[in-house]
Each structure stands twice: as structure tokens, then as C-alpha cells.
């Protein structure tokens, strides 16, 4: 019962624009925005209503709205250029009917990166009802979108020129559009695809790699609102795909931070990647635990090129054929631009008579990343991945501290070697050999490295 109440509160917050910290867009005369569904319309909902907003570099600040049925068989939407790629944004469940405030910002970010058509699918009216009923009717939205795509195709657009970007439930809407076109559309990017009612669904009823020539997914809330299984050719599991850094874990935090923050992180990470301040690079691995333990250090499955989030040439790996349902993992910082460099630390110590605890710190100016390792008597080699805002070549120093215990005396730890390497590993690790770390006294080593 308590969980049901939490879900209701979370969904109510989900539809409010302020939860995303993005100001509502002011609409000038003649410029269109997504619709809001009033409470009366919500109660009287009888059928889906799908309309489209078009933005191009010619009307970057002023969207043009149209409906498919308003176009003649030989007519194109105003400003639509069939020779360009087309990005199709599909929002997800809207609970009580308010428009998603992030859509215009995402569209404009896409246009700043590429000269494309950006089509926004406005199905707020159909997405604003009980979740189970919306899920039952989402395929009808896909059918209506496919009618428009068919018309654009007849006017000169190619199926492979369409790139769908679906958020939450919108990812499965995009997936079914791909099913209707037998996987011939160019690409689908899924931002934390919805999990409830889809985790055990047949591939016909949910997004899967056969829905487009290339499908990539970003998972950030796979234990609640997102889906936990791979659904694309490449599935990015950010911070393991569950709890995101910077999202509050306390129930006393705001409802957004406690419930919705993880789910919406996929969108914010993607938008940050489009802004291009740094690369969000991931490594293939069997699990997040193995990734953090340093068991996955290269991208050989992709012939050495690691996948990155966004629209860069590495975001759609060119290896042919692209492995299906390939899990890749990355860590991020707690706020934009979210970029973190993965640094593998390998520690080799002499055998211990009793367990010990070692504190590790990587320092770059005032940026410090700390990690604690529990040293056991039956193990001498330890590997762990640290995430730092600076690349290894810019790290100033590494500090090790034998933290010991409060109630008994712990012997010094003899370190045979400590090595650092940037992941994916492509160069010889930086190593320091043979030194002792005394209890309570830090051992410090300065690096003199300059990035090329």
C-alpha cells in the first residue's frame, strides 16, 4: 500500500515541469508547443490524439505543429527536408497530462549538433491516463506514426534516415514503429526504456535489437521505472543501471530526488553528451561488479573502439555485425557534464597475517577520489576501478593510507607494487614498486605526467 502511494506521488511529480529544473518555454505567436491535457479532457478521454511539432535550423526557436491527416498525399510538413536525416522524439507516460518541459531543449541540442529535421511526437493526450491503459494503447500511437513515416517515405525520405529517440514508454512506442517497418529504420535510441509491464514481455511487444538497423539504450533506473534486461545492440548501464550518483537515497529528500531522479538521469546524460563537453565512454563487461573489480579492461569485442553515448561516430559502433544485447558499463559524476575517466588501480601486497584496510586517494588539484580496500590474508593482488574527473595523465598524486583498526594494532603493509592505468587499457601502466605503508601515516607519490 505504501509503495502504491509512492508510485502515485512519483507519477504526479513526473508530470510537473519544475521537477526537471527546466523553465517552461514561452511560446510566441505562431510558434507551437506540446499540449497540456486538462482534467476535463482527462476524464472524457475517448481516443488518442497525435500531433507533431517540427523544428529545423530554419526555425530553431519556433516549432511548427501539424497533424498527419491535415497533409495531402503529396504535401510535406513546412520546412521538412527529405534530403536530411530526421530525429523523431517520443516522450513517455505523462500521468496527469502535463507536457514534458525538456522536449524543446533536447530538440535544439540535436539541431546544434547536426542539420536535421526534428519531429516531436506529441501524444500527451493519449499518454495521460492510468498506466496500464496507456500501455494497452501505445501500439496505436506507433501505427499513427508509421502512417506519417510512410507518407514522408513516398515524398523522398529513406527509412534508414530516421533516428527515433524514445524516453521511457516512448522507447517501446519507437520499437513498435520499427517492428511495423521490419527493422529497416535507421536507429532507435532508448532513454531508460520503461520496465513496468515490459520486463517479461515478448520481443514483439517491447523494444529489441530487431526493431532498427542499430538500437542503443541507456539504463539508469532498471530496478524501478526502467527495464533491467538488454533491449538493444548496445545497452549502456550507467553506474550499473540502478542508483545514480547525486540522486538522494533518503526518504526525507524531495520526491523527485528519491523516486524520479534515477529514471530521468538517462535523458540528462544524453543531453549532456550532445553538448559535447566530454566523452561518456563505456566498456563491455558481463556485470557492473566485474567492471568495478577491473575484470574488463578493453573493447576488443568492438575491435578496440569503445562505444560512447550520444551522436558521435563511436556511439553507433561500425563493427559489422554489431553484437546484439551487448552490455557496456560506465560511471559518472553526480552532475553535468557527468563525465568520468575510468582508472584501474592494481595493488600487489606481501601476504598478511591478519586482515587490514587500505585507503587510496587520487588527487588532481582540489579534486579527490577516495577508495577503501579490505585486504585479506588469502589474497595478495587487488584490482579496482576508480572514476575521476581528470584523466590519468593529469593526476597529480596518489596517496595510500594504512587505516588500521581502532581496537587493535595493525602491522605495516608491504606493497610490492601499485599500478595505475587508464581504461580502456592501451598503454603500459604507471607503477611504483616496493614500499611500506605504515599504520596512520600516508604514503604519497607525485606523478609528473602531461597529456598529449
SS3 431: strand
Q: Average the pLDDT over each of 210-219, 226-235, 318-327, 364-373 and give the range with the smallest value.
A: 318-327
pLDDT of residue 44: 52
Are 83 and 4 in contact by the 8 Å Cβ rule? The answer is no
How many other β-carbons are positioned within 10 Å of the β-carbon of residue 430?
A: 18
pLDDT of residue 16: 39
Please list, in sequence order, all residues whose beta carbon lies within 8 angstroms of the beta carbon of residue 89, skipping any fewer than 6 positions away: 103, 106, 107, 118, 119, 120, 121, 165, 167, 170
Phi, psi of 367 (to 5 degrees): -95, 120
- Average confidence (pLDDT) over 129-150: 93
Q: Of 122, 192, 221, 262, which one is the catalytic site residue?
A: 192
Across the chain, mean pLDDT equals 86
Query: Which has more pLDDT, 443 or 286?
Result: 286
Whether the pLDDT of residue 91 is over 80: the answer is: yes
Query: Which has more pLDDT, 163 or 28?
Result: 163
Q: Of 168, 272, 315, 421, which one is the catalytic site residue?
A: 168
Whether the pLDDT of residue 448 is over 70: the answer is: no
Please list, in sequence order, all residues whose beta carbon lies within 8 angstroms of the beta carbon of residue 347, skipping any fewer than 6 positions away: 358, 360, 373, 381, 382, 383, 415, 417, 418
Q: How far is Cα 143 from Cα 126, in angstroms, rounded to an integer?
A: 13
HSE of 314, CA atoms in CB hemisphere, 13 A: 15
pLDDT of residue 186: 96
Q: Does domain 2-330 have CATH number 3.40.50.720?
A: no
Burial class (CB in 10 A: 0-12, 13-18, 19+), 154: exposed
- Average confidence (pLDDT) over 160-178: 98
Please list, in sequence order, all residues whose beta carbon lies within 8 angstroms of the beta carbon of residue 1, skipping any fewer than 6 positions away: none
Q: How far is Cα 148 from Cα 145, in angstroms, rounded to an integer?
A: 5
Q: How far is Cα 224 from Cα 14, in angstroms, rounded to an integer?
A: 14
Sign of CA dihedral 387, 390, 394, 397: negative
Confidence of residue 172 (pLDDT cuts 50, 70, 90): very high
pLDDT of residue 443: 84
Confidence of residue 47 (pLDDT cuts 50, 70, 90): low
H or E element: which one contains 265? helix 261-275
Per the annotation, the verdict on 233 as an active-site residue is no
Are 177 and 142 in contact by the 8 Å Cβ rule? The answer is yes
Whether the pLDDT of residue 2 is over 70: the answer is: no
H or E element: which one contains 288? helix 288-292
* Domain spans in the chain, listed from the N-terminal domain onward: 2-330, 341-446
**DSSP states of 142-160:** HHHHHHHHHHHHHTT--GG
| Segment 97-114, tens digit of pLDDT | 678 889 999 999 999 999
Query: Which has more pLDDT, 8 or 359?
Result: 359
Q: Of 163, 263, 341, 342, which one is the catalytic site residue?
A: 263
DSSP helix, strand, coil percent of the chain (3-state; round to 5) = 25, 25, 45
Looking at the chain, the number of H-run helices and the number of E-run strands are 9, 18
CATH topology of domain 341-446: Lipoxygenase-1 (2.60.60)
Whether the pLDDT of residue 146 is over 70: the answer is: yes
| Segment 268-285, tens digit of pLDDT | 999 999 998 788 999 999
Per the annotation, the verdict on 263 as an active-site residue is yes
Residue found by looking up cell 521511457 in the block: 168
pLDDT of residue 410: 60
Alpha helices in 293-333 (DSSP H): none
Amino acid at each position: 500500500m505504501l509503495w502504491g502511494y509512492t508510485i502515485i506521488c512519483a507519477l504526479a511529480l513526473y508530470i510537473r515541469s519544475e521537477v526537471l529544473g527546466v523553465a517552461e518555454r514561452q511560446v510566441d505567436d505562431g510558434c507551437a508547443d506540446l499540449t497540456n491535457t486538462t482534467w476535463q479532457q482527462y476524464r472524457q478521454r475517448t481516443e488518442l490524439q497525435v500531433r507533431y511539432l517540427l523544428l529545423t535550423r530554419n526555425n530553431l526557436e519556433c516549432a511548427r505543429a501539424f497533424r498527419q491527416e491535415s497533409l495531402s498525399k503529396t504535401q510535406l510538413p513546412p520546412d521538412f527536408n527529405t534530403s536530411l536525416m530526421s530525429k523523431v522524439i517520443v516522450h513517455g507516460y505523462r500521468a496527469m497530462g502535463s507536457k514534458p518541459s525538456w522536449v524543446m531543449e533536447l530538440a535544439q541540442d540535436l539541431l546544434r549538433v547536426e542539420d536535421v529535421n526534428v519531429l516531436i511526437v506529441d501524444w500527451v493526450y493519449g499518454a495521460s491516463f492510468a498506466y496500464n491503459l496507456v500501455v494497452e494503447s501505445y501500439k496505436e500511437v506507433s501505427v499513427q506514426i508509421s502512417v506519417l513515416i510512410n507518407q514522408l517515405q513516398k515524398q523522398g525520405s529513406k527509412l534508414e534516415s530516421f533516428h527515433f529517440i524514445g524516453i521511457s514508454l516512448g522507447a517501446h512506442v519507437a520499437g513498435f514503429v520499427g517492428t511495423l517497418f521490419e527493422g529497416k529504420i535507421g536507429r532507435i535510441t532508448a532513454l531508460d526504456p520503461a520496465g513496468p509491464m515490459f520486463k517479461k514481455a515478448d520481443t514483439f511487444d517491447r523494444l529489441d535489437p530487431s526493431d532498427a538497423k542499430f538500437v542503443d539504450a541507456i539504463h539508469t533506473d532498471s530496478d524501478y521505472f526502467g527495464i533491467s534486461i538488454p533491449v538493444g545492440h548496445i545497452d549502456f548501464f550507467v553506474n550499473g543501471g540502478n542508483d545514480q550518483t547525486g540522486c538522494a537515497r533518503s526518504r526525507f529528500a524531495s520526491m523527485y530526488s528519491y523516486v524520479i531522479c534515477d529514471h530521468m538521469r538517462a535523458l540528462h546524460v544524453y543531453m549532456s553528451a550532445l553538448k559535447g563537453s566530454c566523452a561518456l565512454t563505456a566498456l563491455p563487461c558481463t556485470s557492473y561488479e566485474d567492471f568495478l573489480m577491473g575484470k574488463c579492461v578493453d573493447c576488443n569485442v568492438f575491435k578496440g573502439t569503445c562505444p560512447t553515448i550520444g551522436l558521435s561516430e563511436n556511439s553507433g559502433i561500425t563493427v559489422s555485425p554489431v553484437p546484439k544485447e551487448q552490455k557496456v558499463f560506465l560511471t559518472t559524476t553526480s552532475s553535468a557534464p557527468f563525465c568520468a575517466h575510468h582508472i584501474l588501480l592494481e595493488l600487489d601486497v606481501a601476504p598478511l597475517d591478519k586482515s587490514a584496510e587500505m585507503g587510496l586517494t587520487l588527487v588532481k588539484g582540489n579534486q579527490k577520489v577516495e577508495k577503501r580496500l579490505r585486504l585479506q590474508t588469502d589474497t595478495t593482488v587487488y584490482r579496482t576501478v576508480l572514476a575521476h574527473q581528470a584523466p590519468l595523465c593529469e593526476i597529480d598524486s596518489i596517496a595510500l593510507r594504512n587505516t588500521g583498526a581502532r581496537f587493535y594494532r595493525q602491522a605495516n603493509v608491504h606493497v610490492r607494487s601499485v599500478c595505475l592505468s587508464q581504461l580502456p587499457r592501451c598503454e603500459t601502466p604507471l607503477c611504483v614498486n616496493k614500499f611500506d605503508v605504515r599504520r596512520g601515516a600516508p604514503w604519497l607519490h607525485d606523478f609528473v605526467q602531461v597529456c598529449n
